[in-house]
């Protein structure tokens, strides 16, 4: 199951929709041209408004598709955990059955050597086509033993059969979840690529960039108000990563949601992302960051000025970076395909690496990004990234 955002987070989830609404305030009805992605014919206000709305609509589609893909990943991880736990439970039942069968065989041998005639069939386990026949023989042999032993054996046999059926059903759901995740991932990557093409053409116009940023300022203020927060004016207005430096107020809102106004978007290119904080992950873990889907090799930048620590790992995070920022926070980047430069001091906006699929992200290129206020425990980075990207 995917952990859904609380009411406070939903204000930031809908921030992009509010941006689109603000851009469309003039009454323009915008849709992407069916025949291609031609740039606006001129730099008039109407053309710029239309181009800005096309960009924002493409961003929302990419975010929705990425959110669906990561939700499918969470569902798959939850099923993987269920399968693993069921396998453990089945192994425990089989061990208990083996122990009980050993006791039953000892009773049978004792009866035989004590004088019972006629021979006894070999007892070789509960599995296989002869399992029911063996069970029948065992029950006959034990007909005059304690009723509790018979009941235990009978109950354990039924429980073992039920557990095997449960495991098979879980494995079938897991197989379907693998297919669902693959489909959702392909759709998300296609939407991110479509977004890249739209942005590559539309963001050439400075007027378009200004419209997007102005609309985001307005929408962000509304989102903060809906979230019940007052940490001062967050000036980090996003509209994609423009490479310009930003600094703003950071802190916890009245409802406990953290917003980092110091950062720029960590992905210097087209990206789609959703709120996956707390979603289940393999190994019984919970997701502690935001996953940002982007094309393999997309540049990653320092979200704030600070000092880099390179972490080359074969673990779940893969190639990673820890950025100890001058603002007192720590930022973590995972699954990089490559680094740009080594450990060093960086300025906000410096390229530090590239999107990849190392660690446990094989075949799923994205950035796993975390925010650690004051260098402490991670907080949900979605509101901060939503404001910055």
Do both 75 and 203 map to the same domain? yes
Do both 217 and 232 map to the same domain? no
User: Cα–Cα distance between 119 and 336 in angstroms, integer?
Assistant: 68
Domain termination site, one of 226, 259, 284: 226
The answer to whether residue 389 sits within a structural domain is yes
The answer to whether residue 34 sits within a structural domain is yes
The answer to whether residue 281 sits within a structural domain is yes
Per the structure, the count of domains in the chain is: 2
Domain termination site, one of 226, 253, 279: 226
Residues facing residue 366 across a β-bridge? 293, 356
Is the Cβ–Cβ distance between 250 and 268 less than 8 Å? no
Question: Domain holding 246: CATH number?
Answer: 2.70.70.10
Do both 211 and 241 map to the same domain? no
Do both 163 and 267 map to the same domain? no
Range of the domain at 326: 228-389
User: What residues contact 312, with CB distance under 8 A and at least 6 apart?
Assistant: 319, 320
Do both 52 and 85 map to the same domain? yes
The answer to whether residue 200 sits within a structural domain is yes
User: What residues contact 199, with CB distance under 8 A and at least 6 apart?
Assistant: 55, 58, 240, 270
| pLDDT digits (tens), the chain, 389 positions | 333 344 444 555 555 555 555 554 543 333 333 334 444 445 478 888 999 898 989 988 998 898 888 888 888 888 888 898 899 988 888 888 777 766 656 655 555 655 444 444 444 445 555 665 665 555 555 454 545 666 776 788 888 889 999 999 999 999 999 999 889 988 988 999 999 898 888 888 888 888 887 877 776 666 666 655 544 443 443 334 444 445 556 788 777 788 888 899 999 999 999 888 877 666 667 778 999 999 999 999 999 999 999 987 767 889 999 999 999 999 999 999 999 999 999 999 999 999 999 988 888 899 999 999 999 989 999 988 888 88
User: Cα–Cα distance between 350 and 380 in angstroms, integer?
Assistant: 24
Do both 197 and 236 map to the same domain? no
Is the Cβ–Cβ distance between 5 and 14 less than 8 Å? no
The predicted structure's pLDDT at residue 33 = 37
Do both 324 and 301 map to the same domain? yes
User: Cα–Cα distance between 287 and 278 in angstroms, integer?
Assistant: 5
Domain termination site, one of 180, 199, 226: 226
Do both 270 and 158 map to the same domain? no
Do both 238 and 282 map to the same domain? yes
Do both 175 and 89 map to the same domain? yes
User: What residues contact 54, with CB distance under 8 A and at least 6 apart?
Assistant: 30, 31, 32, 198, 202
pTM above 0.85, yes or no: no
The answer to whether residue 161 sits within a structural domain is yes
The answer to whether residue 97 sits within a structural domain is yes
Do both 34 and 106 map to the same domain? yes
User: What residues contact 275, with CB distance under 8 A and at least 6 apart?
Assistant: 5, 9, 12, 13, 67, 290, 380, 382
The answer to whether residue 10 sits within a structural domain is no
The answer to whether residue 349 sits within a structural domain is yes
């Amino acid at each position: 199951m995917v952990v859904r955002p609380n009411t406070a987070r939903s204000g930031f989830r809908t921030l992009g929709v509010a941006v689109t609404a603000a851009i469309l305030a003039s009454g323009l009805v915008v849709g992407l041209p069916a025949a291609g992605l031609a740039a606006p014919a001129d730099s008039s206000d109407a053309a710029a408004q239309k181009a800005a709305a096309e960009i924002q609509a493409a961003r929302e589609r990419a975010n929705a598709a990425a959110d669906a893909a990561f939700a499918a990943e969470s569902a798959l991880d939850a099923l993987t955990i269920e399968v693993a736990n069921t396998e453990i439970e089945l192994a425990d039942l089989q061990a208990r059955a083996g122990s009980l069968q050993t006791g039953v065989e000892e009773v049978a041998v004792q009866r035989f050597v004590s004088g019972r005639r006629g021979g006894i069939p070999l007892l070789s386990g509960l599995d296989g086509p002869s399992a029911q026949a063996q069970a029948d023989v065992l029950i006959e042999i034990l007909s005059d033993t304690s009723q509790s032993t018979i009941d235990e054996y009978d109950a354990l046999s039924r429980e073992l059969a039920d557990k095997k059926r449960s495991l098979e059903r879980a494995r079938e759901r897991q197989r379907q979840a693998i297919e669902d995740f693959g489909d959702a991932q392909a759709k998300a990557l296609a939407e991110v690529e479509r977004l890249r093409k739209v942005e590559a053409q539309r963001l050439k116009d400075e007027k378009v960039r200004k419209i997007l940023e102005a609309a985001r300022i307005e929408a962000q203020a509304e989102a903060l108000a809906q979230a019940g927060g007052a940490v001062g004016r967050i000036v980090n207005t996003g509209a994609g990563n423009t490479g310009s430096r930003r600094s703003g107020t950071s802190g916890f809102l009245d409802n406990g949601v953290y917003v980092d106004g110091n950062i720029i978007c960590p992905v210097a290119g087209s990206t789609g992302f959703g709120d996956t904080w707390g979603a289940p992950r393999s190994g019984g873990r919970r997701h502690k960051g935001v996953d940002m889907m982007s094309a393999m090799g997309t540049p990653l930048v320092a979200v704030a000025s600070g000092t880099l620590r390179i972490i080359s790992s074969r673990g779940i995070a893969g190639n990673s970076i820890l950025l100890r920022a001058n603002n007192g926070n720590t930022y973590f980047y995972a699954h990089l395909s490559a680094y740009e430069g080594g450990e060093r001091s960086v300025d906000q906006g410096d390229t530090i690496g590239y999107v990849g699929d190392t660690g446990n992200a094989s075949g799923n290129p994205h950035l796993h990004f975390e925010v650690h206020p004051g260098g402490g425990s991670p907080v949900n980075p979605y509101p901060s990234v939503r404001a910055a990207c």
